[in-house]
């Protein structure tokens, strides 16, 4: 496939699509319920502002968090100005939404009221706020027992200005960056992504007027920009200059993406280029249709087909490699020393680090790659549950190839963290 065909298809597959209709319906229902209480008005959908990725129009398919500000009547400010005011306000909003959705999990979460719509596999975070004369908002914080300031209109305006200046490439790249973080388990929030994309376009005008034929180079240069960013705890958000926390270092995974971009560009026009772009951006990248020399069942499943994916947390996995008569070894340490596995080894994949709070569900994927897997008609790749204690997965090496094992953390029906490890096996079993 040509470069523009690959990226046009990728961006088409990343569109929010039909979900926008459901989101709009929920948004209007929530607004009507709050207007009925706070303004004694029936059926009105005024006094609301969609913020976050959805409000900045940088969201992608599978979005799970919908952020909405409900604009409160100014006349109520004094009634909720005390230390108990923030909690009383949030409790009032919670009660309104509970009355509207009696079978939905609705709770106060420090600064917002969270409504988890399991049937739609997304959650609304509703933030009641008073609008100020400069367009900013005062929102309640139960931890601080006071009201804080947020400036989403400035973030929305900065996104639009940058998008207009770059011939819509700002939003294209922001969506591609979200696909990368979801496919590769990069723990980054949407505002941080949009801020980094904004900073990238502030540093170069190279792609301000370029079409999708140039998106391979744009992606390459963006990941080079990311991997060279200095370590820091926070960035100043585009437009608002409010602090955006860096949850975890993104530079190492950006460097991997950069190297994969180089490989993909070097193989432009070949089927292997699509596969490399898929390693960067996930299954939204189309594969080139090719005829295999041998017949095998393509049994690989993709987590995106089972659950919404919105990576915002981190998980790390490792594997204990054991064999009778040998000392157990860490697979990651073996990979660092470039030691290949031999057949007939016992493999115990475990979670070594996870930032997700309980409860959550764990799924695993074991994918066999290469000629030997195809010859044996055994590529596997199904999404499976743990088969060992402590959410672990037990496997055994059997034949040559570049295999891969992935782990997914699912919270409230959404994949919020993922990690993968290569399992290179050097020779066939005897």
Residue 50 in tokens: 């969609």
Q: Which among 29, 9, 53, 345 is positioned nearest to 178, based on CA atoms?
A: 53
Three-state DSSP class for residue 43: coil
Q: What pLDDT score was predicted for residue 176?
A: 98
**What pLDDT digit, counting tens, does each position of 329-379 carry?**
898 888 888 877 777 788 999 999 999 999 999 999 998 877 777 777 777
CB 341 within 8 Å of CB 402 = no
Q: What pLDDT score was predicted for residue 376?
A: 78
Phi then psi dihedrals of residue 307, to 5 deg = -140, 155
Under 8 Å CB-to-CB from 213, ≥6 apart: which residues? Answer: 2, 3, 4
Under 8 Å CB-to-CB from 68, ≥6 apart: which residues? Answer: 27, 30, 48, 49, 50, 51, 124, 125, 126, 127
pLDDT value at 240 more than 90: yes
The residue among 96 and 341 whose pLDDT is bigger is 96
CB 285 within 8 Å of CB 277 = yes
Our CA dihedral for 166, 167, 171, 174, rounded to 10 degrees, sits at: -50
**What pLDDT digit, counting tens, does each position of 187-198 carry?**
999 999 999 999
Q: Which among 69, 63, 237, 70 is positioned nearest to 155, based on CA atoms?
A: 237
Q: What pLDDT score was predicted for residue 430?
A: 28
pLDDT value at 135 more than 90: yes
The Cα–Cα gap between 331 and 301 comes to 24
Residue 373 in tokens: 């897997």
Residue 253 in tokens: 């995974």
Strands 393-396 and 401-411 turn out to be unpaired
At 290, is the pLDDT very low, low, confident or very high (cuts 50, 70, 90)? low
The class that CATH gives domain 299-425 is mainly beta
Under 8 Å CB-to-CB from 372, ≥6 apart: which residues? Answer: 399, 400, 401, 428
The Cα–Cα gap between 270 and 265 comes to 10
Q: What pLDDT score was predicted for residue 191?
A: 97
Our CA dihedral for 43, 46, 47, 50, rounded to 10 degrees, sits at: 110
The Cα–Cα gap between 72 and 55 comes to 19
How long a stretch of residues is the chain? Answer: 430
> Mean pLDDT of all residues in the chain?
92
Q: What is the DSSP string of 155-170?
A: HHHHHHHHHHHTTTHH
Rounded to two decimals, the pTM is 0.91
The class that CATH gives domain 18-150 is alpha beta
Average pLDDT over residues 7-24: 90
Q: What is the DSSP string of 244-286?
A: EE--S--HHHHHHHHHHHHHHHHTTTSHHHHHHHHHHH-TTSP
Where do the domains of the chain lie? 18-150, 151-290, 299-425
């Amino acid at each position: 496939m040509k470069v523009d065909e690959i990226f046009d298809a990728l961006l088409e597959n990343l569109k929010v699509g039909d979900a926008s209709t459901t989101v709009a319906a929920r948004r209007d229902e929530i607004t009507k319920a709050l207007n009925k209480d706070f303004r004694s008005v029936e059926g009105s959908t005024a006094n609301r502002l969609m913020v976050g990725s959805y409000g900045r129009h940088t969201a992608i398919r599978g979005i799970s968090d919908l952020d909405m500000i409900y604009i409160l009547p100014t006349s109520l400010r004094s009634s909720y100005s005390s230390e108990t005011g923030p909690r009383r306000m949030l409790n009032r909003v919670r009660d309104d939404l509970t009355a509207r959705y009696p079978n939905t999990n609705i709770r106060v979460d420090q600064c917002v009221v969270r409504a988890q719509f399991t049937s739609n596999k997304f959650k609304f975070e509703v933030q009641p706020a008073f609008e100020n004369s400069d367009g900013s908002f005062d929102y309640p914080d139960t931890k601080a027992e006071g009201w804080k300031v947020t400036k989403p209109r400035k973030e929305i305006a900065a996104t639009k200005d940058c998008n207009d200046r770059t011939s819509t490439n700002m939003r294209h790249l922001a969506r591609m960056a979200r696909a990368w973080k979801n496919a590769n388990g990069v723990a980054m929030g949407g505002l941080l992504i949009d801020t980094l994309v904004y900073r990238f376009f502030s540093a170069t005008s190279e792609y301000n007027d370029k079409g999708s034929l140039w998106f391979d180079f744009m992606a390459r240069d963006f990941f080079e920009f990311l991997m060279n960013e200095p370590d820091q705890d926070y960035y100043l958000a585009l437009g608002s200059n409010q602090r955006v926390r860096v949850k975890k270092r993104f530079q190492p995974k950006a460097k991997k993406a950069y190297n994969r971009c180089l490989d993909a560009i070097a193989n432009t026009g070949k089927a292997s280029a699509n596969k490399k772009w898929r390693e960067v951006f996930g299954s939204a990248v189309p594969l080139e249709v090719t005829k295999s020399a041998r017949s095998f069942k393509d049994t690989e499943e993709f987590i995106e087909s089972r659950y919404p994916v919105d990576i915002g947390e981190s998980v790390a996995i490792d594997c204990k490699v054991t064999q009778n008569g040998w000392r157990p070894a860490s697979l990651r340490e073996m990979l660092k020393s470039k030691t290949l596995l031999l057949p007939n080894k016992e493999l115990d994949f475990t979670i070594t680090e996870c930032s997700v709070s309980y409860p959550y569900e764990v799924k695993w994927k074991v994918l066999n790659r290469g000629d030997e897997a195809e010859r044996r008609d055994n590529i596997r790749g199904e999404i499976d549950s743990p088969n060992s204690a402590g959410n672990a997965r037990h496997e055994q090496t059997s034949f040559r190839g570049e295999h891969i094992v992935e782990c997914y953390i699912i919270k409230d029906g959404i994949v919020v963290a993922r990690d993968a490890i290569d399992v290179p096996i050097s020779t066939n079993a005897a």
